[in-house]
Amino acid sequence: MISAIMPTYGSPSLAFERGEGAYLYSTEGRRYLDFASGIAVTALGHAHSHLVKALTEQVAKFWHCSNLYRIPGQERLARRLVERSFADTVFFCNSGGEAVECGLKAVRRYHDSTGNPERYRVITCTNAFHGRTLATISAGRQEKHTKGFEPLVDGFDQVPFGNLNEMRAAIGRETAAILVEPVQGEGGIRAASADYLKGLRAVADEFGLLLFFDEVQCGMGRTGRLFAHEWAGVKPDVMAVAKGIGGGFPMGACLATEAVGRHMTAGSHGSTFGGNPLACAAANAVLDVILADGFLPRVEKMGVHLRWRLEGLVAEHGSVFSEVRGRGLMLGLKCVPSNADVVQHAQDEGLLLVTAGENVVRVYPPLIVEKTQIDEGVAILDCVAAGFATPGRR
Ligand SMILES: *Cc1c(COP(=O)(O)O)cnc(C)c1O
């Protein structure tokens, strides 16, 4: 008989009861070091006092009123994101997939409104992940996500990630935009080089295309900058963010320049829940912490420490871990044994991780992680690796 929960997630057995900073406590009372962060969502760890206070205060006032009315918290959040980014304007929604959808619609609308309605196609990259809606699985075009859901939404072409020549060659008279993750997450923690991102900007300008970054996973401080593309000194025209933005409260946002956003006129797009007072209270509180003096440099510093420790694991356990990837606290370990087995064994030892493509395990501590907790996580990974390297020990 089918489970009451639709079986899309398999059937995990571990459940949690409460969290505190970088730790989660299972319903059986066991403590886990959480280097999964709910897939890069709980940026400030669990039960962060500032977030708890902000949300509790808003919960007692009111939660929702829809976008039929002004939402001062939403206005403030938008202003803060605009001040700290390339963007002039922000649309709020409830997930990463929706943020990408909004960007895709904005891209089409821009060309339609500026006299090029034939431009509707978007070029994406191999190993990309942009969400699970029909348009975003069509954009990501990974067989494991599209199988059985055809016909796909028309209007997407795909080229190898990191290859500018192939990108140029794929551009046609119907091309509207280039959509890229500055650091691919689900695809295996692959960071685009600064040269590649700069090259994409130049190609987009040359052909009159929009540059659309998907920072749903790599944005909101994960790499040590508020947005990952800042490392390359390149500005997109459109950007999707989500995951970390609400610290665990569901929220997404699509940021755009005025040139793009001004065509998203009243009535052209919308969301019932998007940017409601409760979500914006969460996101404003997250920003209070992330934008405070010294927070992002500290993320970068912790990222350097974690990378150094992970590289130590690769040096010591080359038969188990072959490579460290990523940037800041968005790091991945390429595995020799199956990454799912590594994640399972780490979980057995009290450390939560996430698998990614190309047989990588994601190591995503919360951005508030302490150095001693990084060392604690690495010690568990060391023990897991030793188990793999010594047949019979497991
Ligand atoms: C997770 C993710 C999405 C989809 O976000 P949802 O909130 O699951 O819809 C889109 N793009 C990237 C890069 C992601 O990592």
140 CA to centre of ligand 1 in angstroms? 11
140 falls within a domain: yes
Q: What is the mean pLDDT of residues 107-112?
A: 98
Are 89 and 218 contained in the same domain? yes
User: Smallest Cα–Cα separation from 182: which of 222, 152, 137, 134?
Assistant: 222
Strand order in the sheet with 121-125: 89-93, 252-256, 238-241, 210-214, 175-180, 121-125, 156-159
Does the pLDDT of residue 393 top 70, yes or no? Answer: no
Taking CA atoms only, the protein residue closest to ligand 1 atom 11 is 130
What lies within 8 Å, CB to CB, of 191 at 6+ separation is 182, 183, 184, 228, 325, 326, 327
Q: In testing the pocket of ligand 1, which one of 141, 216, 220 has its CB within 8 Å of the most ligand atoms?
A: 216
Q: How many of the other CB atoms lie within 10 Å of CB of 391?
A: 7
238 falls within a domain: yes
Does the pLDDT of residue 392 top 70, yes or no? Answer: no
Per-residue pLDDT band for 150 (boundaries 50, 70, 90) equals: very high
Give the residue from 270, 290, 310 where a domain finishes: 290
275 falls within a domain: yes
Are 281 and 345 contained in the same domain? no
28 CA to centre of ligand 1 in angstroms? 31
222 falls within a domain: yes
330: left (phi over 0), alpha (psi -120 to 50) or beta: beta
Are 195 and 257 contained in the same domain? yes
Cβ 210 under 6 angstroms from ligand 1: no
Q: What is the mean pLDDT of residues 306-330?
A: 98
d(Cα 206, Cα 202) in Å, to the nearest integer?
6
| CATH value at residue 276 | 3.40.640.10
Q: Looking at ligand 1, which atom is closest to the CA of residue 131?
A: 4
Are 303 and 267 contained in the same domain? no
236 and 197 Cβ atoms separated by less than 8 Å: no
13 CA to centre of ligand 1 in angstroms? 24
Q: In testing the pocket of ligand 1, which one of 37, 101, 130 has its CB within 8 Å of the most ligand atoms?
A: 130
| Global pTM exceeds 0.85 | yes
Strand order in the sheet with 360-363: 321-327, 330-335, 360-363, 354-356
d(Cα 103, Cα 337) in Å, to the nearest integer?
38
353 CA to centre of ligand 1 in angstroms? 17
Per-residue pLDDT band for 152 (boundaries 50, 70, 90) equals: very high
Q: What is the mean pLDDT of residues 7-25?
A: 96
- pLDDT of the residue at 389: 79
pLDDT digits (tens, 9 = 90+) for 239-277: 999 999 999 999 999 999 999 999 999 999 999 999 999
Q: What is the mean pLDDT of residues 360-380?
A: 98
Cβ 97 under 6 angstroms from ligand 1: yes
Are 272 and 124 contained in the same domain? yes
Give the residue from 258, 290, 322 where a domain finishes: 290
Structural domain harbouring 381? 16-34+293-389
- pLDDT of the residue at 210: 98
d(Cα 198, Cα 229) in Å, to the nearest integer?
10
Cβ 131 under 6 angstroms from ligand 1: yes
Are 281 and 303 contained in the same domain? no
Taking CA atoms only, the protein residue closest to ligand 1 atom 15 is 217
Give the residue from 248, 265, 290 where a domain finishes: 290
Task: For the chain, give the percent of residues with pLDDT over 70.
Answer: 99
Q: What's the structural domain count of the chain?
A: 2
- pLDDT, averaged across the chain: 97
Are 311 and 247 contained in the same domain? no
Cβ 185 under 6 angstroms from ligand 1: yes
3 falls within a domain: no
Q: What is the mean pLDDT of residues 282-296?
A: 98
6 falls within a domain: no
d(Cα 376, Cα 139) in Å, to the nearest integer?
39
Are 225 and 322 contained in the same domain? no
Are 325 and 255 contained in the same domain? no
- pLDDT of the residue at 390: 80
Cβ 214 under 6 angstroms from ligand 1: yes
Are 248 and 306 contained in the same domain? no
pLDDT digits (tens, 9 = 90+) for 163-187: 999 999 999 999 999 999 999 999 9
| CATH value at residue 326 | 3.90.1150.10
44 falls within a domain: no
Are 327 and 210 contained in the same domain? no
pLDDT digits (tens, 9 = 90+) for 348-365: 999 999 999 999 999 999
Does the pLDDT of residue 219 top 70, yes or no? Answer: yes
Q: What is the mean pLDDT of residues 373-378?
A: 98
5 falls within a domain: no
Q: Which residue has the higher pLDDT, 390 or 321?
A: 321
Cβ 211 under 6 angstroms from ligand 1: no
Are 216 and 300 contained in the same domain? no
Cβ 123 under 6 angstroms from ligand 1: no
Taking CA atoms only, the protein residue closest to ligand 1 atom 10 is 130
